[in-house]
Amino acid sequence: MTELELDEILTARWPIVMRRVMADGSDQWLQGFVRSIAKHGKRASWRPSPKQAQIMRRLVSELSAPSNPDFEVIEK
């Protein structure tokens, strides 16, 4: 994970991921993971392990997209 990618995830996308995971409340391990990443991400020298980076990317792709858009497609 590049420094730029990590910075973008932690500043722009991770808060959204955290809100969605915490609101769901069903997976205690996942809640602990997102809290841990947020805590460690505050240290300038921290870099995620390859496994952490993989999980972070997956969560960002799954959870940062709108879950229930409030609009209806007019043309299909």
Confidence of residue 70 (pLDDT cuts 50, 70, 90): low
- Give first-to-last CA distance, the chain, whole Å: 38
Sequential DSSP letters for 5-48: HHHHIIIIIHHHHHHHHHHH---HHHHHHHHHHHHHTTSTT---
Contact 30, 18 (CB under 8 A): no
Read off the pLDDT of residues 3-49 as tens digits, 9 standing for 90 and up.
Answer: 999 999 999 999 999 999 999 888 999 999 999 999 999 998 999 99
